[in-house]
Amino acid sequence: MTEQPQEQLPEGQAAAYAAMVEQSRNTATVAPYAISDDLRPTIDELDLWENVAELRDQGYTVIKDVAPPELFDQLREVIHTLAEESAMKGKGASMLLGRDPVVDQVATLPKVLAIAEASIGQGMRASQFVGSILHKGDGHLNLHADANWLPAPFPEHNCVLTFCMPCEGMTDEGGTTRVVPGSNSLRRHITQEEMENSEHVPIEVEKGSVAVWDGAVWHSGGIRTIPGTRTVLHATYQRMYVQPIDDYTYLLEDEEYVKNASEELLGLIGADLFYGTATLDHGVDLQKFFSSTIKAKK
Ligand SMILES: O=C(O)CCC(=O)C(=O)O
Ligand SMILES: [Fe+2]
């Protein structure tokens, strides 16, 4: 970014600003799936080291007990209600963040945020929050990588991370997502031939737990062969230097929403980042710029 002359800062803020500039210059980039000093105590506390290793090596993992099962009952209710109102006629609902407090709560669960930071770094953005409902006979999606709008080779630092939050749990016959373990290491899109011939395995998830995969791993949706429903929140997050799919910044203009939202949620919506802060009158907010450059390296 080109630096521009800035207005004089008040005395108290000038020193903090200078310290941040210094920190920005001195922050070393954390290697892919290495854990920053900031994050290490949280990974310890939440006992997530095995999940970090699986996500790095296999491209996916199941995080156990992210929330009490009752929260997933509530989430199921929300997705079904919004799906009924949506144009998808009971099959799904889109743009879910900010539509119900349960979705916002799930988006900011401590284990979810910790794994997201381990994979896609600080300052990550909410990218896409959609719900899907499968009934018997529904399902099927070709093998693909979620970083499907990125050119290959994909960057070594993961850019896109998808949590698959099944409200009822997910089994093979229930239509669970299937994955090609380790395909993330290829860091490229799948070919037509590989799509037809790759061995892929079901990801079984108990209610209360969630599956999560790296944007480079090849996976597909399963087919539900039993009665009942598979209700899933697909919650995708992005490394902050790539742009989100859903634009939630309009929520930042809703005073009531901002007043009641947690700091973490406002962070996901991009309130702390420098994007879009320049106007016709002044340049980019440099406080936000430098704090973003620090996050980008972690
Ligand atoms: O519905 C599924 O099981 C998988 C959908 C999918 O590919 C995704 O959420 O990234
Ligand atoms: Fe996907």
Q: What mean pLDDT is predicted for residues 135-148?
A: 94
**Residue 26: C-alpha distances to residues 34, 72, 119, 287 (Å):** 18, 43, 22, 16
pLDDT band at 122 (very low <50, low <70, confident <90, very high): very high
Q: Which of 96, 135, 143, 177 to mutate to test the pocket of ligand 1 (most atoms within 8 A of CB)?
A: 177
Burial track 37-72 (b if 16+ CB lie within 10 A, e otherwise): eebeebbeebebeebbebbbebbbbbbeebbeeebb
pLDDT at 7 over 80: no
pLDDT band at 50 (very low <50, low <70, confident <90, very high): very high
* Mean model confidence pLDDT for the chain: 94
Quick one: DSSP state of residue 198? -
Percent share of the chain, pLDDT over 90: 85
**Percent of the chain as helix, strand, coil, to the nearest 5:** 35, 20, 45
Tell the residue nearest (CA) to atom 2 of ligand 1. 221
Q: Which of 220, 238, 245 to mutate to test the pocket of ligand 1 (most atoms within 8 A of CB)?
A: 220
Ligand 1 atom closest to 177 (CA): 3
Q: What mean pLDDT is predicted for residues 220-248?
A: 94
Ligand 1 atom closest to 232 (CA): 1
106 occurs within a structural domain: yes
Q: Which of 94, 135, 141 to mutate to test the pocket of ligand 1 (most atoms within 8 A of CB)?
A: 141
Written in H, E and C, the secondary structure of 26-44 is HCCCCCCCCCCCCCHHHHH
294 occurs within a structural domain: no
**C-alpha span between 298 and 292 (Å, rounded):** 10
Tell the residue nearest (CA) to atom 8 of ligand 1. 234
pTM strictly above 0.75: yes
Ligand 1 atom closest to 162 (CA): 10
Closest CA to 77 of 49, 51, 106: 106
> Which two tokens mark 167?
């409200």
Q: Which residues line ligand 1 (CB under 6 A)?
A: 132, 141, 146, 162, 164, 177, 219, 221, 232, 234
Decide: 212 and 55 in contact? Cβ < 8 Å.
yes
Tell the residue nearest (CA) to atom 4 of ligand 1. 221
Q: Which of 232, 236, 245 to mutate to test the pocket of ligand 1 (most atoms within 8 A of CB)?
A: 232
291 occurs within a structural domain: no
Q: What mean pLDDT is predicted for residues 238-247?
A: 91
133 occurs within a structural domain: yes
CATH code (residue 172): 2.60.120.620
Closest CA to 129 of 79, 71, 72, 60: 79
In what order do the strands lie in the sheet containing 139-144?
A: 139-144, 219-223, 178-179, 201-202
140 occurs within a structural domain: yes
Residues less than 5 Å from ion ligand 2, measured at CB: 146
- The H or E element that residue 18 is part of is helix 11-26
105 occurs within a structural domain: yes
Tens-digit pLDDT profile for residues 162-215? 999 999 999 999 999 999 999 999 999 999 999 999 999 999 999 999 999 999
292 occurs within a structural domain: no
Phi-psi region of 4 (alpha: psi -120 to 50; beta: other; left: phi over 0): beta
CA 77–ligand 2 middle distance (angstroms): 23
**C-alpha span between 23 and 217 (Å, rounded):** 34
Quote the pLDDT of residue 11: 80
Ligand 1 atom closest to 130 (CA): 9
pLDDT band at 5 (very low <50, low <70, confident <90, very high): low
Tens-digit pLDDT profile for residues 142-158? 999 999 889 999 999 99
Pairing of strands 160-166, 139-144: unpaired
Quote the pLDDT of residue 8: 81
Percent share of the chain, pLDDT over 70: 99
Task: Name the more confident of 221 and 9.
Answer: 221
Quote the pLDDT of residue 117: 98
168 occurs within a structural domain: yes
10 Å Cβ neighbour count for 182? 13
Q: What mean pLDDT is predicted for residues 235-250?
A: 92
> Where in the sequence is the domain holding 166, given as residue range(s)?
32-246
**C-alpha span between 11 and 158 (Å, rounded):** 40
Tell the residue nearest (CA) to atom 1 of ligand 1. 221
Quote the pLDDT of residue 296: 86
Tell the residue nearest (CA) to atom 9 of ligand 1. 234
- Number of domains comprising the chain: 1
Quote the pLDDT of residue 242: 87
Q: What mean pLDDT is predicted for residues 59-86?
A: 97
Tens-digit pLDDT profile for residues 251-290? 999 999 999 999 999 999 999 999 888 887 778 899 999 9
CA 260–ligand 2 middle distance (angstroms): 32
Decide: 34 and 297 in contact? Cβ < 8 Å.
no
